[in-house]
């Protein structure tokens, strides 16, 4: 991938896509192609084909997806399955037809079985039943991985996949119904502090374990893999360290400076008990995360305060 290569970042307005664009720009790439969904509807194969014909991208980062936290995944089940299947099938097929040199597809750690051995090794895919709250999303992401592998097998297309752990960072979703836990808790603790509330409600029991990666680290890993990785097997991307949701909540409470207490609403689902990535493969390839969780949360809290002011 040269500085003047034609690089399409699908999903450039989302948290992951925007981080990949920032990373490519920082590295001096000058031919980054982006389209909003109103300009090119990625759920429409002929629109995607026409766009690929016109722009002839050489490299594709496939970060466009319908995403959300545990509640959104569990409620909008058809949308999470259908939209993601359509987007990935259309983009991957067009990339094949237009002879894209390399494509990187982004999956998610929820592809692994609910009770897979921890830490999650790449080889654990399809060894057991999925977590029910995000089964539709996971099935769509597994289909995307398999589509890349099938194009690799049948045609020799260099279509690779990265599996990030739970992410956070700039351009995250702060809507309390559809967001992931980290932005939700930042917002809840901040609001409670401003309103002088004595309690904040968090979902579930607080006992599930999760791993969190700053999206700027993920973007660096994606560009690293695009340049250096040429194997069919997908690659986990994470920090290799997890913590309980309770410990996360206490860390966010401390960063925000909320002095009240936490109430756990066990009517809300816990989801997967644990999903810690085994990151030995990407570490051995030469990539390691840089941003420590506490510093990352402090950074995003500052971004959140700027958004509140604007
Ligand atoms: O981040 P999250 O929504 O997604 O929730 P998952 C993680 C944990 O935090 C769950 C708890 O145990 C939630 O019950 N939690 C506590 C909260 N308070 C809150 C809150 O206010 N909001 C939210 N959202 N959670 C998603 C999958 O699973 O992770 C997706 O559904 C995707 O498919 C994504 O893989 C990365 O980690 O449980």
Largest separation between any pair of C-alpha atoms in the chain: 61
Cβ 19 vs Cβ 215: under 8 Å: yes
Query: Is 114 inside any structural domain?
Result: yes
Whether pLDDT at 100 is above 80: yes
Q: What is the mean pLDDT of residues 275-289?
A: 98
Pairing of strands 235-237, 209-210: unpaired
Residue 310: pLDDT above 80?
Answer: no
**Domain of residue 28, CATH code:** 3.40.50.720
Task: Give per-residue pLDDT as tens, 55-98.
Answer: 999 999 999 999 999 999 999 999 999 999 999 999 999 999 99
Report if residue 302 sits inside a domain: no
Write down the pLDDT at residue 307.
Answer: 87
210 lines ligand 1 (CB under 6 A): yes
Domain count, the chain: 1
Q: Is residue 132 part of a domain?
A: yes
pLDDT at 132 over 90: yes
CA dist., res. 69 & res. 52, Å (int): 31
Give yes or no for residue 250 having a pLDDT over 80: yes
Residue 127 scores a pLDDT above 80: yes
Among 180, 204, 267, say which to mutate for ligand 1: greatest number of ligand atoms within 8 Å of CB: 180
Structural domain includes residue 29 = yes
Q: What's the confidence (pLDDT) of residue 308?
A: 84
Concerning whether 137 is annotated as a catalytic residue, the answer is yes
Residue pair 144/84 in contact (Cβ under 8 Å)? The answer is yes
Asked whether 16 lines ligand 1 (CB < 6 A), one says no
In a domain, 304, yes or no: no
Whole-number Å distance, alpha carbon 22 to ligand 1 midpoint, is: 26
Q: Encode pLDDT of 33-51 as tens digits.
A: 999 999 999 999 999 999 9
- Name every residue whose Cβ is closer than 8 Å to that of residue 161 and which is 6 or more positions away in sequence: 104, 105, 106, 107, 144, 145, 148, 234, 235
pLDDT digits (tens, 9 = 90+) for 191-220: 999 999 999 999 999 999 999 999 999 999
Burial (CB < 10 A; 0-12, 13-18, 19+), residue 38, is exposed
Long-range pairs for 248-255: beta carbons < 8 A, 24 or more residues apart: 248/181, 248/182, 248/185, 248/210, 248/212, 249/185, 249/202, 249/206, 251/293, 251/294, 251/297, 252/182, 252/185, 252/186, 252/189, 252/297, 253/185, 253/189, 253/200, 255/186, 255/294, 255/297, 255/298, 255/301
Among residues 59, 112, 137, 229, the one annotated as catalytic is: 137
Q: Which residues contact 261 (CB under 8 A, 6 or more apart)?
A: 198, 199, 200
Residue 95 CA to ligand 1 center (angstroms) comes to 32
Whether 43 maps to a domain, the answer reads yes
Is pLDDT larger for residue 308 or for residue 140? 140
Does position 186 have pLDDT exceeding 90, yes or no? Answer: yes
Q: pLDDT band at residue 309, thresholds of 50, 70 and 90?
A: confident
70 Cα–ligand 1 center, Å = 4
Residues pairing with 203 in the sheet: 265
In a domain, 249, yes or no: no
- Ligand 1, atom 6: nearest CA belongs to which residue? 70
The average pLDDT across 119-129 equals 98
Range of the domain at 122: 7-172+211-240+276-291
Average pLDDT, the chain: 97
Confidence of residue 7 (pLDDT cuts 50, 70, 90): very high
pLDDT given for residue 23 in this prediction: 98
């Amino acid at each position: 991938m040269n500085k003047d290569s034609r690089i399409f970042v699908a999903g450039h307005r989302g948290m992951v896509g925007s981080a990949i664009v920032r990373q490519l720009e920082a590295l001096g790439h000058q031919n980054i192609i982006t389209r909003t969904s109103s300009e090119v509807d990625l759920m429409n194969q002929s629109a995607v084909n026409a766009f690929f014909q016109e722009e002839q991208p050489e490299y594709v980062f496939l970060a466009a997806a319908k995403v959300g936290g545990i509640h959104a995944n569990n409620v909008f089940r058809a949308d999470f399955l259908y939209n993601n299947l359509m987007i990935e099938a259309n983009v991957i097929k067009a990339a094949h037809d237009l002879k894209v040199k390399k494509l990187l597809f982004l999956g998610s750690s929820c592809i692994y079985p609910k009770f897979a051995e921890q830490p999650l090794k790449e080889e654990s895919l399809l060894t057991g039943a999925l977590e029910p709250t995000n089964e539709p999303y996971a099935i769509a992401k597994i289909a995307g991985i398999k589509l890349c592998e099938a194009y690799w097998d049948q045609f020799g297309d260099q279509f690779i996949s990265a599996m990030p752990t739970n992410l956070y960072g700039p351009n995250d979703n702060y809507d309390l119904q559809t967001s992931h836990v980290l932005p939700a808790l930042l917002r809840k603790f901040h609001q409670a502090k401003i309103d002088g509330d004595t309690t904040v409600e968090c979902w579930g029991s607080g006992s599930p374990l999760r791993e969190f990666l700053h999206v700027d680290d993920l973007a660096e890993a994606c560009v690293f893999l695009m340049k250096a990785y040429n194997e069919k097997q997908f690659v986990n991307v994470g920090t290799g360290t997890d913590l309980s949701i309770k410990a996360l909540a206490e860390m966010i409470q401390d960063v925000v400076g909320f002095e009240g207490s936490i109430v756990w609403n066990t009517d809300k689902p816990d989801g997967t008990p644990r999903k810690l990535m085994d990151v030995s493969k990407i570490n051995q390839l030469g990539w390691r995360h840089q941003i420590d969780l506490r510093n990352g949360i402090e950074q995003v809290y500052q971004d959140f305060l700027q958004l509140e002011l604007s």
